[in-house]
Structure 1
Amino acid sequence: MADLEAAKINHDNHLLLDQSCMRLPYELLRQNFRSFHLPFDKGSNSVKDLLKETANGSLNGKVSPEDVVKNLDQMLAKMRGLKRKLAVAADEEDRLYRQMDARVAHMRELASLNTVDDVKYEGWSRQRLDRLLVDYMLRHGYGSSAAALADAREMQDLVDIDTFATMSRIRTSLERGSVQEALAWCAENKKELRKMQSNLEFLLRCQQYIEMMRTGVHSQMLEAINHAKKHIIPYSDTYPVEVSFMAGLLACQPNTHLEPYASLYSSSRWETLADAFVEAYLKLLNLPMTPLLHIALSSGLSALKTPACHSTQSQGADQPADGTSSTTTTNDNNTAAASSSSSSSSAPQRHPPHHHGTASLTTRVCPICSTELNALARNVRYAHHSKSRLLDHDLVLLPNGRVYGRARLDEYAAKSGLPPGQVKDLVTGEVYPASELRKVYAT
C-alpha cells in the first residue's frame, strides 16, 4: 500500500515547478500588446487628424488639389506603416499562441498519468529534464547549445530561446561597457519598472555620468553636469544618498582611493549593472531568479537528506563520537520514521561496531553522502515526513542502530553463508547474533 502511495504522481507539485513555463507566454502576450498599442493609437489618430484637416480644407477651398493629393499620399504611407507593425504584432501573437497550445498539451499529458510506473511518464519526465537543461544553458549564456538541444528534441515551443537571447544580448552589452541597449529596454518598459519600483534606470544614468567624469575632459564634465541635472537630480527624493555621491564625484579623480568614490569608478560596477538588469528582466516576466534545474535538484536532495548525511564531514573522522554509523542510507530514513520499544532503547550495545570502510560503502548507496552531491546538498533543508512510508512490516533494530526488515536480513544472511542464528548488516557487513535484534514499531 505504501509503495502504491509513493508511486502516485502529485500533479500539484509538478505544476509548482512548471508554472513559469505556463505563465511566460501570457506575460509576453501582454508585453506584445503594450508595445504596439500606443504606437498604433498615435499613428491612427495622426491619420484621422490629417484626413479631417484635408477634408475641411478641400471643402473650404483653403487646400489646393496638389496639397490634397500630397496629404493622401502621406496618409497612405502612414497606414502602410501601421499595417506592417500590425503584421509583426500578429505574427508574434501567433507564435505565442502556438507556444501556449504546446505547453498546455504537454501538461495535459502529465494529467493523464497517475503513477511514476507508467511507461509514458519516463518519456514525459525526460522531456521535462531537457527543458530544465535548456533553461539552465539559456540563463548562463549558452544560447547556441540550448538551441541545438531544443532542435534535437523538437521542443522549440516548450522553451523560451528568444526571450533569454534578448536578456543575454543586453547583459553582454552591459558587461562590455555600454548602457544604450539597457536604456532602450527601460524606455520600452518604463511604466512596469516604475510599478516594480526598480532602480535600474537610475543606476544606468549614474553610470553614464561616471563614464563622462572618468574622461577628465572639461567639455565632457560640463556635459556630465547637464546630464545629472536632467536624469539624476529628479531622483534626489528617492535616492538621496546615491545622488549626493554623484555630486561628490565632481571633486574626485578616477585614481582616487577615497570611498565610496573609488568603488564608483571601479570597473566591477559593470558586472553589478548586468546583475541588476537580469534581476529586473526576470522579475518583469515573473520568472524565478534561480534556474529551474537548481530548484528541481534541491527538492530532490532535500527529500533524501537526513542529519546523518554530513556527520562524517562534521566529525572529521570515519567513526563518530557516539559509535554509530556516520552516514545514511535508505534505511536511515526508516530509523528516523520509527521508534523502538522502551526495552530496546535502553539495551546496551555489547558489541561496539567496527566502521572500517563504512563511509566508502555507504556513499555508494546514499546519493547525499556521495562525493559529487555531498557539498551541494549541505545547504538544503532536511527531509520532512509527516508519516512513515516505504517501511518493511517486520522492522528490527541492530546493535549498531540501523533498522532493516527481518526478512531482508535473513535472506542476506543466507546468501552470505552465515550459520543459523546470525544476521549481517546489509551496508557495513557487521555480523550479530539474532538474539540481539530488537523489534521496532512503526509510527
Structure 2
Amino acid sequence: MEIDPLPNGSGSNAATSPETAATTTAITVTSNTAPSSKLSHLTESLKLEHQFLRVPFEHFKKTIRTNHRTVEKEVSAIISSVTDVADSDEISKDDAILSLTSLVSRLQGIKRKLEEGSHAENLQAHRCRARLDHLDSADAENLSEWNNVRLKRILVDYMSRMSYYDSAMKLAESSNIQELVDIDVFQEAKKVIDGLRNQEVGPALAWCADNKSRLKKSKSKFEFQLRLQEFVELVRAENYMRAISYARRYLSPWGATHLKEFQRVMATLAVRSHTECAKYKLGLVMTDFGFLIRFPVAFNLISHRFWVVDAVASVWIGAIHDEFQILSG
C-alpha cells in the first residue's frame, strides 16, 4: 500500500516534532490575537474621538436651542403688542408714535440678538468642521504626526481637568490646536467652582438655569442644594423675613420631591442661629460651600459629562500608552 505524501513536505517526515507543533501553535495564536488587538485599539480610539467631537456638537445644539427660544419669545411679545395696538379703536397719534417707536426698538434688539446668536452658531459649527477635517486627515503618510497631535489633545484635556489652565492654554497655543480642544468648557466650570469657594452661588445658579433641562432629566438636586445654602445664610444672618420670602419663591417648588430636607431646614426659622440643640443645629450646618464644591454635579461639570458621554478611564490610559509606543517606535 502506498502512503500519500504530506501536503507541505515529503512523506518521509510524517511525524511532527514537539518543537514544530509548539511553533505552529504559537503562530496560530499570534495570528488570531493580532486582529483582535488591532480591533480593540481601533474601538478605544473611536471612543476617544467620539468624545472630542461630542463636546462642540452639544454646544452647537445648545446654542441653536437658546437662540430659537429667545427669538420666539421676543417675536411673540412683539406680535402681541402690535395686535393690541391694531385692535384699539381709540388711540391718539402720540400714543401710536410711541408704540411704533417702542416696537422699532424691540425689533432692533432682536436683530442684535440674532447677529450674536448667528456668530455663536458659526463659531461652534466651525469647531465641529475643524475636528471632522482633522479626523479625516489621518492617513498612512502622516499617521505619526497625527498621533502626536492627538497625544497633545489628551494632555491638554487632562491638564484642564486637573485645573492647570495656563499650562493647557500654552500647550494648545504652541501646538496650534486651539480648535481641537475644549479649554473654554473647563474655564466655564472653573467660574462655578471658584464662585463656590468664594461662598458665591450666583455663577452656579446661572449654570443651573442654562442647563435646567439636563439637570431635570438626570434628577439632580444640585440647584436645590444651592437654594438651601442661600436660605441657610439668610437664617444665619437672622434676616428671617427675607428667608421666608426666599423659601416661598425658590424652595417651595421642591417641597414635593424633597419634603424631609425642606421641613428640616424650614424648622431653623423657629430657633436662633446660635442654638445648641443638635437637631436644629444640624439644619443650620447641613449645607456648606465645601459640600457644594464636592457635590457630584460639580465634578460632572469639571469632567464635562453634561456635554459628552462618560469616558472610560482605560480609554485615556490606553490611548496615552499607545501614543508613546508609536512615537518611541
Q: TM-score under structure 1 normalisation?
A: 0.58
Q: Say if 2:264 and 2:283, in contact at 8 Å, map to a contact too.
A: no
Question: Given the superposition, is the C-alpha separation of residues 67 and 230 from structure 1 closer, same or farther in structure 2, using an over 3 Å criterion?
Answer: closer
Question: Given the superposition, is the C-alpha separation of residues 190 and 300 from structure 1 closer, same or farther in structure 2, using an over 3 Å criterion?
Answer: closer
Amino acid at match of 2:201: V
| Residue number among 194, 199, 218 corresponding to 1:196 in the alignment | 218
**Identity across aligned pairs (percent)?**
26
CA RMSD of aligned residues (A): 3.0
Match of 2:289 in 1: 270
CA–CA separation in structure 2 for the residues paired with 1:67 and 1:225: 42
Helix, strand or coil: the match of 2:142? Answer: helix
Deviations 1:296-325 (A, max 9, x none): 226778xxxxxxxxxxxxxxxxxxxxxxxx
Helix, strand or coil: the match of 2:220? Answer: coil
Q: Is residue 147 of structure 2 the alignment partner of residue 125 of structure 1?
A: yes
CA offset at residue 5 of structure 1?
3.4
Q: Is residue 209 of structure 2 the alignment partner of residue 187 of structure 1?
A: yes
CA–CA separation in structure 1 for the residues paired with 2:223 and 2:181: 29
Q: Is residue 68 of structure 2 the alignment partner of residue 37 of structure 1?
A: yes
Match of 1:206 in 2: 228
Q: Is residue 205 of structure 2 the alignment partner of residue 174 of structure 1?
A: no
Deviations 1:16-51 (A, max 9, x none): 122221111221122112222222112112222233
Match of 2:34 in 1: 5
Match of 2:21 in 1: none
Q: Say if 2:131 and 2:180, in contact at 8 Å, map to a contact too.
A: yes
Q: Say if 2:265 and 2:283, in contact at 8 Å, map to a contact too.
A: no
Q: Between Structure 1 and Structure 2, which shows a larger proportion of strand residues?
A: 1
Match of 1:229 in 2: 248
Structure 2 unaligned spans of 5+: 1-26, 322-329
| Residue number among 31, 54, 60 corresponding to 2:85 in the alignment | 54
Q: Say if 1:174 and 1:270, in contact at 8 Å, map to a contact too.
A: yes
CA offset at residue 81 of structure 1?
0.7
Match of 2:179 in 1: 157
CA–CA separation in structure 1 for the residues paired with 2:276 and 2:203: 30
CA–CA separation in structure 1 for the residues paired with 2:98 and 2:248: 43
Q: Say if 1:279 and 1:289, in contact at 8 Å, map to a contact too.
A: no
| Residue number among 98, 107, 132 corresponding to 1:79 in the alignment | 107
If you compute each CA radius of gyration, which structure gives the higher value, 1 or 2? 1
Helix, strand or coil: the match of 2:69? Answer: helix
| Residue number among 120, 130, 135 corresponding to 1:107 in the alignment | 135
Correspondences of 1:19-418 after superposition (within 5 Å): 19-57=50-88, 60=89, 62-110=90-138, 112-113=139-140, 120-215=142-237, 217=238, 220-250=239-269, 251=271, 253-254=273-274, 256=276, 258=278, 261-262=281-282, 265=285, 269-276=288-295, 277-279=297-299, 281=301, 282-288=304-310, 295-297=315-317
CA–CA separation in structure 2 for the residues paired with 1:15 and 1:164: 23
Match of 1:392 in 2: none
CA–CA separation in structure 2 for the residues paired with 1:158 and 1:298: 20
CA offset at residue 264 of structure 1?
5.1
CA offset at residue 158 of structure 1?
0.7
Q: TM-score under structure 2 normalisation?
A: 0.76
Q: Between Structure 1 and Structure 2, which shows a larger proportion of helix residues?
A: 2
> How many residues are matched?
287
Q: Say if 1:252 and 1:261, in contact at 8 Å, map to a contact too.
A: no
